[in-house]
Amino acid sequence: MNLSRTLLTTVLIVFATGLSAQEAVKDSVRTSSSEGSNRNMLMNAASASQPRQISLGLPTANWATIYEDGLPVSHYMLQIYPYKSWHSGVSHESAGTMTPQDMVLKYGTISYGVDSKSKLAGDKFEGKVNYTLNHFGRQAIDANISSPIGKGWGFSVGTYQNFDPGSNHLDMTSLQDRVQFYKGSISKTWDEGRGKAGLIYQYSQYKGIIENFGPFIFVGDGSVKEYDGFKLGTDQYLPANNMVTFMDMETGQMMEQHIDKANTDKIHNVNFVLDYQWDNGTKLSVHSKYKRGHSYRSNSTVMGVSEAIAGSGYTYEDGREYIGKVQARRMLHFDAFDHFWMVNAELTGKSKDQRHKWRAEVDYWLNHGGTNTSMYMFAHEAKKDPKLLLLNGNKGYNYNTYIEYYNGHEHKVFGLISDEWNVSDRLWLYGGVRLEYIKEHGTAALADNEPGNKRHAGFYLNDGVAKKTKFDDGHINPAYIFSGRLALLSGFGLQAEYSTATIHSQLFHYGTAYYPTLEPSTVHYLRGGIYWKNKWIDLTSQITNITMSNSQERPNFEHVLVRDAGDLKAGMSETVTTQIAYDLATLGWVTDAVLTPFKGFNVHLMFTMRNPKYKNFKLSHTFSDGVTEEYDFSDKNITALSKVELEVEPSYTFGDWRIWASARYFSKQYINKTNSLYFNGRWETFGGVDYKLNNHVSFSASVVNILNQKGASGSIASADLVTDPTPYKNYVMAGTFIRPFTLELTTKLSF
C-alpha cells in the first residue's frame, strides 16, 4: 500500500463529518457513529504496504483483518498475510473501517478491520492513474480503467506496481518491496438499480523483505541514544550475504535459496459478487472467493546483543577471530501454502413500519493450509554495514531447535442474525448472534505423545525417530452483540454496547511442538457513555472494559547457559520459542470527537486512557543446560501497549487546496514483562498538501514522520525476569523503528 496515494481517499474518510444534528436514534450503529470513519487504518507509521492495527487494550496481531467484496482477503493472518494480495487504491470502489461489532458478527473476533469493495464497471468509461515517488527512491504506479460494453455488461482492469528499495538500502537486494498486482473483472448491472453481479480475478506477486531493525543504546530512563553512529531508519543492519542457508525440516538436507525468492508470495484470487434487490426493499448478497497461494518467507528477527571475547568461537568468514559486540538473529524459513474456498449468502430488509432493519447470513469456508518451517540462528557485527560472523566455523547454528509443520483442512460453517430496532424517536436497540462450528483435521509434528518430535538442534522429521501425528478436532464458537442508544435531548444522549466472542484453536496452532490447548479463548468487551452531535461537534465519551481468557502466544525467552549445550558454550545465551496461554484485562476511557468550528476546517481528536494487565500468567521452561526457570507476570502491565494515547488530526480546505496533518502520541511502553524497563512516549506525525488542478489532474505532497522521531521499540529477551534495571543502563540492544522522515509526491490522473 502506498501512503501518499491513499491519503486523499483516507483523509476524506477520516475528516468527513457528514453527520448533522438529529435525534440520533434513526440510523444504525455503523452509520450513527463517526467511529469507523475516524480510525484511519490506512495511514501506518510502521509500514507503507499494510494497514495499521488498532488496539482496543489488548495485544493485537501485526496485521489488520481485511475484507474485500464481502469476504476476508485471507482465511487467517497465516500463512498468506492479507496485505500481500490486497492494496487500497484505484482498483477499489471504496475502503473503510469495520467496527468491533461488525467484526464480531462477520469474523468472530473483537477488533477493528478494513472493509473494501472492488471497482466494477459503471455506466460510463472511467480511467484513473496514480504515480507516487518518495525521496528514498520508491516508485509506485496504480492504474485502472472500467467501461460499459452494452446491455448492462462491462469490464474493469487494473494493475499496481511497487518498486521500493527501502529507506535503509540493503546490499543483499535491490528492492526490499517489489509488488505486482493484476486485476480484471466482468460485471452485469440490472436495470432500475436492482443490483449488479461481477466475476473478479487477481494475480499478485509480492516480494517483501522486512528489515526495520537497528542497534541503539537503551539509557535506562526510557530514552535511547545513538550507538556507534548508527542512524535508525537509514543505515543498513544486515550483512550483504544474499543466500538463505537452512536445514530442510523434513529431509535434514542443507538447502540454499536466494533472499529474493525466499521472500516471495504468488497468489491467485477469484471472487464472485452478486447484489440484487426486490421491490419490497429486501436485498440478497452472495459472495464467493477461491484463493490459491504459496508463500516463501525468510525474514530474520533480532535477538540479543552479546560480547564476543577471545576463544568464544566467533570469526569472520576468512577465519580471523572476532572480538566485540555480536548481534544474534533468528531466521525462520517458511515454505507455506494456503488454498481456500469461501461462500456466503446474506439477506437484509426492513419491516413494513421501517422500525426494524434485519440481517441474516450463512457462510461456509473450507481451508487447506500448511507450512514447512525451518529455523536457524546466525550472527553478525553489531554495527552499520555489518559483516557475517561464523560460530565455530559455521554460518548458522542451532538448526531446527524450533520448527513448524502442519498440513490440514479446516471446515467452518456459521450463521448470523441481527436486528436494528428503532423503538421510538428516543430509543434505539441493536442486537446480533453468531454461531460457528469449526472442524480441523490433518497431520502435524506434535510431541505430546511422541518424544521423538521434541525439538532439538538438528531436528528433522525423516530422521527415523520423529513421527508425523494426526489431529482431528471440532469446536463451537458463539458470539453475541448488543447496543443501545437513548436520546435525552436533541443530539445528546447515552449509548452502550456489549460484545463477546469465543474462539478455539485454529489450524495454524497445530504447527508447534505441542498440542494446542482445547480450552476456548473468550473476549468480553463492554463500553458505555455519552454522545453529543450538532453542526459543529460529533463526540462520544465512553468507559471501556475488555478481558480475554486463554490468550495464546509464542514468545521468545532467553537464558544464559550455565554449562555447554550443543553449539553453545557456558555463558552464552540460548533463545527458545514456546507456546503459552494466559489472561488479559484492560479498563479504559476513550473520548473521540470531530469538531467543525467553521466552513472548510475540521479536526479529529481522540484521547485514550487505560490500564492493560496480564492475568494468570505463570509458566516454566527447561533449557538445554537442564536449568528450569519459572515466570510469573500476573498483574504486570502488558508490554508494548501504552496507557495513554492521543490523536490530533486537523484538515482545512479552501478553493482547490487542502492542508492536513495527523499526530498520534503513545505514552511509555514496557519492554519486559516484569515492567522494570520501558521506552518513553513517542509521536507519530504525518502531514500534507493536496491541490486539484482541474477535474482530471491533482497533486499531493505528504510527509511521514515530520518530527523524524526514531520510534525505537523492542524487547530485551534476557530481561524478562529482571526486577533490578541497573545492569541495563546504557545497554546496547536492537529493536524495530518506525519509518524515518519521508517525503512523498503523488500525481493523480482521471479521465
pLDDT at 533 over 50: yes
pLDDT at 176 over 50: yes
Contacts of 565 (CB under 8 A, 6+ apart): 574, 623, 624, 625
For residues 297 and 289, what is the distance between their CA atoms, to the nearest angstrom? 24
pLDDT at 120 over 50: yes
DSSP assigned state of 397 = B
For residues 335 and 393, what is the distance between their CA atoms, to the nearest angstrom? 27
**Contact criterion met (CB below 8 Å) for 134 and 511:** no
- Strands 113-118 and 65-68 turn out to be parallel
The least confident of 21-30, 47-56, 324-333, 689-698 is: 21-30
Which tens digits make up the pLDDT trace of 303-343?
889 999 998 999 999 999 999 999 999 999 999 999 999 99
| CA-to-CA dists, residue 167 to 234, 235, 250, 739, 741, angstroms | 5, 8, 37, 8, 9
Which tens digits make up the pLDDT trace of 64-88?
789 999 999 998 877 889 989 999 8
Q: Give Cα 485 distance to the centre of its chain.
A: 31
Longest Cα pair distance anywhere in the chain, in angstroms?
84
- The number of beta carbons lying within 10 Å of the beta carbon of residue 192 is 7
pLDDT band, residue 724 (cuts 50/70/90):
confident
pLDDT, averaged across the chain: 89
Which tens digits make up the pLDDT trace of 504-526?
999 999 999 989 888 899 999 99
Which tens digits make up the pLDDT trace of 435-481?
999 999 999 999 988 999 999 999 999 999 999 999 999 999 999 99
pLDDT at 529 over 90: yes
pTM confidence score: 0.86
**Contact criterion met (CB below 8 Å) for 403 and 444:** no
- The C-alpha cell of 153 is what? 455488461
**Contact criterion met (CB below 8 Å) for 135 and 746:** no
- The C-alpha cell of 169 is what? 538500502
For residues 131 and 487, what is the distance between their CA atoms, to the nearest angstrom? 47
pLDDT band, residue 388 (cuts 50/70/90):
very high
pLDDT at 257 over 60: yes
Q: Give Cα 616 distance to the centre of its chain.
A: 26
* Residue 208: its H or E element: strand 195-208
Tell me, what's the pLDDT at 561? 86
Tell me, what's the pLDDT at 568? 76
